Amino acid sequence: MLQRAAIIDLGTNTFHQIIVEWEGRHFKILDKLQIPVKLGSKTFISGFIQQEAYERGLKAACDFREIIEAFQVENIQIYGTATLRIASNAHEFQHDFEDILKAPIHIIDGENEAALIYNGVRHAVPLGEEATLIMDIGGGSVEFIIADENEMFWRKSFAIGVSRLNQLFPHTEPIENDLREAIEKFLDDELEPLWEQADKYNVSLLVGASGTFESISDIDMELFHSQKQTFPFVHHLMDLSHYREIRDKLLNANRAELATMPGLIAFRVEMIAIGIIMIDYIMKRQHLKRLIVSDYALKEGIMFKLMEEVKAV
């Protein structure tokens, strides 16, 4: 029986919605929208969602509702993450957002977020039997998973998202070496549990999802005309020489140069330097030899979970 659903991911920087239609294991994404709400702007310092961000979030809800009504969708799945986990006025925002869409927001903890990300990534990347490090960069948190194609061995969410670090480490671009070293020292301390597990499982492959990873994939395709793998999996195997050249361009550019970087969309400009510092530090710290960017992450993980649940009924 043909099914249809709207899946909404309320991220710290970006709200995402996909309209998906499926029957059995075959699915089609009918519509996709991402809105740079920046819900977490100043939240990690102030502790609450700022009024302008609050209003942008509710405007996004209205935009989503128009699309949902146009596609006549009744099954609406909404998931909230880092900002809605910590903001003092998250309950009020949740109530107002739900009132517009007439559907509940599921505010998930970091462990569940990581599990859903894995569920998306494993449908986009052929993980095989090798233990692989999966990293999803969000605005409020970063999720790490060590897994193969069949199971997760370890997962953890860290409160080190790019919006949070932007607020902790104010900067101009290009970021000065001293500040970069301070950021790397912060990451080294915060990610101590990751180093132990990555060494234990001897990971050599990094699979990246969301945010900065999407940006470097888009830049790679613009600058080097590289291609994604699109069937049966959907991902981008990065040439490491391309990655290094893109890294250097991003880290040496000022804000105006970043704004005109081919493949870098405007709302990611202010977060990209912190994101690439994070990726590069992980790559160097763990001597990772390969990098794949997954097209699927949280919202697709929710989609596949929903498909399985409907199938099981």
Q: Supply 75's token pair.
A: 């099954």
Q: Are residues 76 and 133 in the same domain?
A: no
Residue 98 CA to residue 78 CA, distance in Å, equals 9
The residue range of the domain holding 21 is 3-107
Q: Are residues 277 and 196 in the same domain?
A: yes
Q: Which long-range contacts (CB under 8 A, 24 or more apart) does 57-62 make?
A: 57/10, 57/15, 57/93, 57/97, 58/93, 58/96, 58/97, 58/100, 60/15, 60/35, 61/96, 61/97, 61/100, 61/101, 62/100
Phi/psi for 243 (5° steps) reads -55, -45
Q: Are residues 161 and 200 in the same domain?
A: yes
Q: Are residues 145 and 30 in the same domain?
A: no
Domain end, chosen from 58, 73, 107, is at 107
Count of other CB atoms within 10 angstroms of residue 46: 12
Q: Are residues 146 and 291 in the same domain?
A: yes
We report the CATH number of the domain holding residue 206 as 3.30.420.150
Domain end, chosen from 107, 141, 162, is at 107
Count of other CB atoms within 10 angstroms of residue 78: 23
Q: Are residues 137 and 190 in the same domain?
A: yes
Note the pLDDT of residue 163: 96
Q: Are residues 67 and 197 in the same domain?
A: no
- Which SS3 state, helix, strand or coil, does residue 217 take? helix
- Which SS3 state, helix, strand or coil, does residue 214 take? helix
Please list the residues that pair with 143 across neighbouring strands.
136, 157
Note the pLDDT of residue 1: 87
Contact 152/146 with Cβ under 8 angstroms?
yes
Note the pLDDT of residue 171: 95
Count of other CB atoms within 10 angstroms of residue 218: 18
We report the CATH number of the domain holding residue 8 as 3.30.420.40
Instruction: Specify if 255 maps to a domain.
Output: yes
Helices (H), 71-132: 82-86, 90-101, 110-121
Residue 143 CA to residue 304 CA, distance in Å, equals 19
Q: Are residues 102 and 146 in the same domain?
A: no
Note the pLDDT of residue 313: 59
Tens digits of pLDDT across the chain (313 residues)? 899 999 999 999 999 999 999 998 899 999 999 999 999 999 999 999 999 999 999 999 999 999 999 999 999 999 999 999 999 999 999 999 999 999 999 999 999 999 999 999 999 999 999 999 999 999 999 999 999 999 999 999 999 999 999 999 999 999 999 999 999 999 999 999 999 999 999 999 999 999 999 999 999 999 999 999 998 899 999 999 999 999 999 999 999 999 999 999 999 999 999 999 999 999 999 999 999 999 999 999 999 999 999 876 5
- 4, 12, 117, 293 from 138: Cα distances, Å: 27, 7, 11, 14
What is the count of structural domains for the chain?
Answer: 2
